[in-house]
Amino acid sequence: MAADPTGAVCKAYAASASDARTPISAMREQAVLGPFIAVIELAPRQVAQQGASAGDPAVAAAMAELAAAIDGLDAQAKAALPPGADATATPVRIDPTRLAAALDAADKACASRTPTSVPPTR
C-alpha cells in the first residue's frame, strides 16, 4: 500500500462514494430490486471493507460502519422478500438511512485527506 495508507483509503473512498449514493433516493421513494442494489454497492463495499484497516482509527471505524451499512441493505432486502418470491423480479422496500449516515461519517473522517468533498446525503 502507499506511504500513507489512510490517504489511499480516503482516495479510493472518494472515487466510490458517488456510486454508493446513487440508489439512496430511489430506495427512499419506492420499492427496489435487492440484487440491483447489491450490484451497485459492490465496489463501494469492497473499498469500505479494505478501508476498515486504515491506520487512522476514525477512518477505519467509518469504513467498517460503511461496510456494515451496505451489508444491512442486503439483509433488509432478503428479509422483505416474500417467501418463494424471485429476488430479481420482486421489488422490496429498503431503508437507506444507515447507509446515508455511514457515507456522511466517512466523508467527515476523510475530509482532511481528500481534495474534494461530496455534499452530505439528505
Minimum mean pLDDT range among 2-6, 63-67, 108-112: 2-6
Given a cut of 50, is residue 117 above it in pLDDT? no
CA distance 29 to 71: 20
Cell triple for 102: 455511514
pLDDT band, very low/low/confident/very high, at 5 (cuts 50, 70, 90): confident
* pTM of the full structure: 0.87
DSSP secondary structure letters along 80-119: HSPTT--TTT--B----HHHHHHHHHHHHHHGGGSSS-PP
CA distance 67 to 53: 12
* Residue ranges of domains in the chain: 5-113
What architecture (CATH level 2) is domain 5-113?
A: Up-down Bundle (1.20)
In the chain, % helix, strand, coil (3-state, to 5) comes to 65, 0, 30
